Amino acid sequence: MTRIAYLDCVTGIAGDMFLGALVDSGVPLEYLIEQLKGLKIDHEYKLSQEKVQRNGQQATKVHVKLLTEDSHKNHHHHHHHTPARHLPEIEGMIQQANLPPRVTQWSLDIFRQLAVAEGAVHGVAPEKVHFHEVGATDAIVDIVGTCIGLDYLNIETLYCSALPTGGGTVRAAHGRLPVPVPAVLKLWESRQVPIYSNKIDKELVTPTGAAIAVTLVKSFGEPPNMILEKVGLGAGSQELSLPNILRLWIGEKVTEKKTIMST
């Protein structure tokens, strides 16, 4: 049996939404916490989950709470951000974390894609990219955690819907940026991702979400032929006009022989 999954991204995709969908699909949070300890950054964050409502629908929200936040929540002039890391350092952390082989490879590939996109935007080599938002602790947890979850659920092939562009502007390390942010556009361009506007002027696809999708997804568009076994619902942080939920459809790939037998 070939286990496949389809990302239904009506309101986009972000790393924490994907983590939420995986936990909702049966990946134990304790397993994620245990596996992530290998990265040796567990003193920088705390992982938790809760059930939330989005436009009347229940979904799982996974929180990556940065432990450095508390000291300056009310003091905007103090900038105790999580460490900004470069690609070689992140690669070293992943390689030494004793993760399952697929998880290690997927995580390295995603960060490499992200560094190439950010590098192209800023005109620097991927190794020289100074990860701000992207190299921050929560992005590392989101990316590696997502790979751990996909491996745990034994997903062999990942598919994804077309992605909504979003709109408006968002605050970033270099000031305000138009949405989709430049790195997301670069990532979409790298895989010729089908995109459309759902008329929601918010950041719907984050660089982390885009990097995971363009690296791991086999093809974008319509759902594949599959026998649906489970749907995991991962909540986003924003309240939108549509339920802000990433839907992960998990099931068995339907071969042509099976289709003929069932008719």
Question: Per residue in 209-230, pLDDT tens?
Answer: 999 999 999 999 999 999 999 9
Write the burial class of residue 239 (CB in 10 Å: 0-12 exposed, 13-18 middle, 19+ buried).
Answer: exposed
* The predicted structure's pLDDT at residue 78: 39
What average pLDDT does the structure give for the chain? Answer: 91
Are the CB atoms for 216 and 243 separated by under 8 Å?
A: no
Name the pLDDT band for 175 (thresholds 50, 70, 90). Answer: confident
The pairing of beta strand 163-164 with beta strand 226-235: unpaired
Are the CB atoms for 130 and 84 separated by under 8 Å?
A: yes
The two structure tokens encoding residue 180: 């989709």
Is 70's pLDDT higher than 90? no
* The predicted structure's pLDDT at residue 71: 44
**% of the chain with per-residue pLDDT over 70:** 89
* The predicted structure's pLDDT at residue 67: 86
Buried b (16+ CB within 10 A) or exposed e, 58-85: ebbbbebebeeeeeeeeeeeeeeebeeb
User: Among 25-39, 123-137, 189-203, where is mean pLDDT lowest?
Assistant: 123-137
* The predicted structure's pLDDT at residue 82: 57
* The predicted structure's pLDDT at residue 60: 98
CA dihedral (219, 220, 223, 224) in degrees, to 10, reads -10
Name the pLDDT band for 172 (thresholds 50, 70, 90). Answer: confident
